[in-house]
């Protein structure tokens, strides 16, 4: 019975979050900006008029956060290939926002350390022009006996710094929790 209660409470919490997030002007404005940016990026390599948003503002739940998600797709122009697509969409608009180039310049000026793998990409190109890539977030990497990870949040004109900071900490917590769990398992196995 307690498991059913927990499940019901979780479902209720998700529904409340969906309603409140989709009503928040800041969340909607940020998401619409990102969708427009991706439509623009894909439009650079897609046939005219083929770029479509076939899923808009759906909610996806993860272990410690929920996200508003949209799906943008287009039909690739004959003269373009998978590498052209990567050039058109990278770095991802969810990382830079708009205007993309100026934002990257500001990041370079303000951030005290280089991002390394964080907000980069991992993926593959197939011989048949298929490709699958991600944007590296919520990821830890280890070097010289130390683990590193970075976290961030989307900043727009309506952002409340305290809320964005809390969001960054919440995102980082999931990775930290998993890293600690894995390190305990490693200790037990050794």
Q: How confident is the model at residue 157 (pLDDT cuts 50, 70, 90)?
A: confident
Residue 179, domain extent: 2-189
Confidence at residue 76, expressed as pLDDT on a 0 to 100 scale: 96
pTM of this prediction exceeds 0.85: no
Q: Say how far apart CA 67 and CA 177 lie, in whole Å.
A: 20
- In the predicted model, what is the mean pLDDT of the chain? 84
Active site residue ranges? 67, 94, 118, 138, 154
pLDDT tens-digit profile of 37-94? 999 999 999 999 999 999 999 888 877 677 889 999 999 999 999 999 999 998 888 8
Q: Into how many domains does the chain fold?
A: 1
Q: What's the CATH number where 61 sits?
A: 3.60.120.10
Question: Average pLDDT in the 88-116 region?
Answer: 88
Question: Average pLDDT in the 18-27 region?
Answer: 72
User: Would the pLDDT of 23 be above 90?
Assistant: no
């Amino acid at each position: 019975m307690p498991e059913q209660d927990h499940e019901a409470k979780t479902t209720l919490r998700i529904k409340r979050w969906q309603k409140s997030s989709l009503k928040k002007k800041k969340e909607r404005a940020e998401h619409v900006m990102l969708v427009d940016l991706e439509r623009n990026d894909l439009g650079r390599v897609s046939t005219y008029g083929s770029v479509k948003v076939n899923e808009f503002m759906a909610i996806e739940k993860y272990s410690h956060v929920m996200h508003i998600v949209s799906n943008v797709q287009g039909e690739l122009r004959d003269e373009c290939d998978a590498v052209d697509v990567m050039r058109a969409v990278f770095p991802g608009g969810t990382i830079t926002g708009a205007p993309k180039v100026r934002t990257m310049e500001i990041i370079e000026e303000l951030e005290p350390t280089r991002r390394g793998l964080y907000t980069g990409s991992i993926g593959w190109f197939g011989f048949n022009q298929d490709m699958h890539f991600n944007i590296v977030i919520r990821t830890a990497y280890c070097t010289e006996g130390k683990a590193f990870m970075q976290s961030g949040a989307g900043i727009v004109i309506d952002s409340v710094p305290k809320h964005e900071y809390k969001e960054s900490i919440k995102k980082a917590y999931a990775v930290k929790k998993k890293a600690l769990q894995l390190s305990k398992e490693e200790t037990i196995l050794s």
